[in-house]
Structure 1
Amino acid sequence: MSIEVVNESGAEGINEMMLIDVAGFALGRMDVHPAAELTISLVEEKTIADLHVRWMDLEGPTDVMSFPMDELSPGAGRPDAADPGPAMLGDIVLCPDFAGRQAQLAGHGLDHELALLTVHGCLHLLGYDHADAEGEKEMFALQNTILKAWYDDVECRGVVYQPKPTGLGAFPSAADRQDLDKQMKQLGSIPPVAEPAVRETPQPPDTMA
């Protein structure tokens, strides 16, 4: 698995190895082909706001956007699939400034929020979404299962990242996240957790490195 992190956000103290670790774990847990490639870009609020309106037609910044190289359905890209899928899964774009405010409201640290959003973004790249109630329930349950398993795996490996949070918002249900969205709205922010933007060409958006 080849995962690259590009930090153009200006935010300091971002644990890039942690992001690579959690993304690699999530993709491995989903049986994604080991030759798959992924880029994680961290950007400023203005940059993600531009992407948000360009690709989603939604104003304002958000926390995470996913740009699949191709439109996948759940199960694509797995080693046992007839077609193992594209080598390049796509790009995940994170906004640490936005995610930081969100993390504070949810009651945990930025590192955990970025780990959660990275798993969320990986699932979008694999074709999962929360456009309807059934898909939303499935995606958030899977997200939490993977994230909890990653913390257990990190502990077993003796790797030290952020501690596993215990707050109610650490492993949110879809309803929990909707409540958080409402709080973000009250602060004047666009609701987070954007749907993936499917690219028509293999080139990443202009803001990507």
Structure 2
Amino acid sequence: MSIEVVNESGYDGVNEESLADVATFVLREMDIHPSAEVTVSVVDVPTMSELHLRWMGLEGPTDVMSFPMDELTPNMGRPDSAGFGPAMLGDIILCPEFAHKQATKAGHDLGHELCLLTTHGCLHLLGYDHITPEQEQKMFALQNELLMDWYAYCAGRHIEFQPKPTGPGAFPSAADRAELDNQLAADEKSAGQGGIPAIAEPKET
């Protein structure tokens, strides 16, 4: 698995090695071809805001965006899939300054939040989404399972990028995450900064 992490955010506390490690683990667990390639770009708020507006028509930054290279479905990309070989799966864009607000509100550190968002982004690259309630439940359950398994995998290698958090917001359900986004939107609004969308998805107005 080839994971390239490009950190152009200038934001403190970003561990590029942990992002590459969790992305590699997630894609391996999803039986993706071992020669698949993913780029994780870590950007500042202005850059994320520009991408958010250009590709989703929404003003302001967000936490994570995913740009699949090909139209994949959740079971494609397995090593035993006919005709599938090494490929560029796509790009994941992270905004640590924005994500830090979410991490603080949820009660864990930035390192965990960025690993959670990287896991979320990987699943989007593989065709998972959270448009319908059924999709939300499936994607967030899988996201949490993969992230918890990654912490166990790290422990087995005697590696700790950051302590595994135990708070209720560390491995959220879709409803938990929606509530977090609502709380942050209220905080931003009270500060006169406007609301924010849920994870890379527009909110209805």
- TM-score tier by shorter-chain length is over 0.9
Tell me, which stretches of 5 or more residues in structure 2 are unaligned? 189-194
Determine if contact 1:78/1:85 at 8 Å carries over to the other structure: no
Segment of structure 1 superposing worse, 107-116 or 12-21: 12-21
> Who is 1:120 aligned against?
120
Deviations 1:41-78 (A, max 9, x none): 00011111111111111111100000111121111111
Query: Structure 1: how far apart are the matches of 2:99 and 2:33?
Result: 29
Runs of 5+ in structure 1 lacking a partner?
196-209
1:187 matched to 2:187? The reply is yes
Q: Identity of counterpart residues, as a percentage?
A: 64
Residue of structure 2 in register with 1:63 after alignment: 63
Separation in 2, partners of 1:80, 1:13? 39
TM-score, normalised with respect to structure 1: 0.91
* Cα distance in 2, alignment partners of residues 36 and 86 from structure 1: 5
RMSD: 1.1
Contact persistence 1:77–1:83 (CA under 8 A): no
Amino acid at match of 1:66: S
**Aligned position for 1:200:** none
Equivalent residue number for residue 160 of structure 2 = 160
Residues of 1 paired with 2:12 and 2:174: CA distance?
Answer: 30
Could you tell me how far 1:143 is from its partner in structure 2? Answer: 0.1
Q: Distance in 2 between matches of 1:92 and 1:78?
A: 20
Q: How many correspondences in the alignment?
A: 195
1:89-108 pair list within 5 angstroms? 89-108=89-108
SS of 1:187 mapped into structure 2: helix
Distance 1:125 1:9 in 2: 22
Structure with greater contact order relative to length (CA < 8 Å, sep ≥ 6) = 1
Instruction: For 1:63 and 1:123, locate their aligned partners in 2 and report how far apart those are by CA, in whole Å.
Output: 15
